[in-house]
Amino acid sequence: MRALVTGGAGFIGSGLAHALVAQGNDVVVIDDLSTGALRNLPSGVIYPGPLDILTDAPRIDPYVASADCVFHLAGGVGVEYVLKNSVRTIAINVVGTEVMISLAAMHRKPFLLASTSEVYGNAFGPLSEGLASEETSSLTPYARSKWQAEQIALAYHARGQASVVIVRLFNVVGARQTWRYGMVLPTFVKQALQGSDITIFGRGDNRRSFIDVRDAVSSMVETMQTTAGRGEVINIGSNDSVSIAELAGRIKRAVRSTSRIVHIPYRETYRSSHLNPHERIPEISKLIALTGFRRRYTLEDSITDAVSYVSYELVPTDHRHRGAVVG
């Protein structure tokens, strides 16, 4: 098949592109490169140059028309990026989703929307898909905009205008995830590699379930391929969890770092403990029922890949091997 992937030069999008290409599919990547990087792309993908889904719909339209399905992953990534680019992030999440799903609807192409576990707000887990509501998602503008994107997609599906599946991703980690936008695991890896303090906001007892990007994208592909998932919202994540403090310790040991692990009170940062729920763990029975999901990669596997990629990022550009790609 030919798949179109928006945000395909980013962390999860490029992981999806790699998985699709490895299966023998043709892949078209739409990305404005605001946070993605061309080096993330596998060889053989079709990349027509930087395109903005907010302004370049006429140029994107032919690629949707020639695709068999659309994976919509374009969006802001990381706390720091979202805070610095909040207006554009909301526009991409809401308006950009409507642009892309309207094109998919016009050409009758199946549409997968990548959403986020943040729509659960401070709800306590295990988090089943029915727990999210407008009230829980309204804790942050980012979460609210992703919730609105979900409602747009579901409305198209309910009216029979598009065949839609929505996946809520929980803490995806691994190869090609940059530290540049405040993502916790690669940030800890960078600090450990440099021997600087590994900084934990608050006590670090809040727990998260991390899933390797390879497991996440294979689940996305399988979810798109099963028609039983159409019209559904499906969690993609791991039901194992680890505290942030424990994560820092695992990374320090993996890197054999001399870094100290230090705790910074929320009041000394731009973050808020209110927006950092104690636990965010998914209920994944729907995913298992639809796809037979089983994890293939451990957190240690993800840390190993993150160390490799962040090490590459920290090498000055002019010292990198020409054409090197971290896989």
Listed range (29-43, 120-134, 239-253) with the worst mean pLDDT:
120-134
Looking at residue 141, its pLDDT comes to 80
Looking at residue 142, its pLDDT comes to 84
d(CA 107, CA 276): 40
Residue type, 15: G
Looking at residue 88, its pLDDT comes to 87
d(CA 7, CA 39): 14
Looking at residue 322, its pLDDT comes to 44
Looking at residue 1, its pLDDT comes to 93
pLDDT digits (tens, 9 = 90+) for 124-171: 778 999 887 666 655 678 888 999 999 999 999 999 999 999 999 999
Angle at 44 between CA 43 and CA 48, to 5 degrees: 105
Contact 121, 274 (CB under 8 A): no
Question: Dihedrals φ, ψ of 274, to 5°?
Answer: -60, -30
Largest CA distance in the chain: 58
Question: Dihedrals φ, ψ of 290, to 5°?
Answer: -80, -35
Name the DSSP class of 237. Answer: S
The reply to whether 318 falls in a domain is: no
Residue of 63, 81, 120, 142 marked catalytic? 142
Catalytic status, residue 142: yes
Average pLDDT over residues 68-90: 84
CB within 8 Å of 4: residues ≥ 6 apart = 27, 28, 29, 30, 63, 64, 67, 69, 70, 71, 109
Average pLDDT over residues 66-93: 86
What CATH number has the domain bearing residue 150? Answer: 3.40.50.720
The reply to whether 182 falls in a domain is: no
The reply to whether 220 falls in a domain is: yes
pLDDT class for 71, splitting at 50, 70, 90? Answer: very high
SS3 48: coil
Task: State percent of the chain over pLDDT 70.
Answer: 91
The reply to whether 167 falls in a domain is: yes
d(CA 293, CA 17): 20
Q: Which helix (H) or strand (E) holds 25?
A: none
pLDDT class for 324, splitting at 50, 70, 90? Answer: very low
pLDDT digits (tens, 9 = 90+) for 260-302: 999 998 776 655 545 677 889 999 999 999 999 999 999 999 9
Looking at residue 144, its pLDDT comes to 87
d(CA 87, CA 96): 12
pTM: 0.92
Q: Which residue has the higher pLDDT, 318 or 298?
A: 298
pLDDT digits (tens, 9 = 90+) for 301-316: 999 999 999 999 998 7
Question: Dihedrals φ, ψ of 173, to 5°?
Answer: -140, 165
SS3 153: helix
- Structural domains of the chain, count: 1
Looking at residue 271, its pLDDT comes to 59
The reply to whether 66 falls in a domain is: yes
The reply to whether 195 falls in a domain is: no
Residue type, 12: I
Looking at residue 268, its pLDDT comes to 64
Looking at residue 320, its pLDDT comes to 57
The reply to whether 278 falls in a domain is: no
User: What does the chain come to in residues?
Assistant: 327
At residue 112, does pLDDT exceed 60?
yes
Angle at 250 between CA 173 and CA 308, to 5 degrees: 50
Mean pLDDT of the chain: 91
The reply to whether 269 falls in a domain is: no
Nearest to 174 by CA among 4, 16, 44, 20: 16
d(CA 235, CA 169): 6
Contact 221, 19 (CB under 8 A): yes
Span between the terminal Cα atoms of the chain, in Å: 23
pLDDT digits (tens, 9 = 90+) for 188-240: 999 999 999 999 998 999 999 999 999 999 999 999 999 999 999 999 999 89
Task: Write the DSSP string, 245-258.
Answer: HHHHHHHHHHHT--
Domain that includes residue 57, residue range: 2-172+210-236
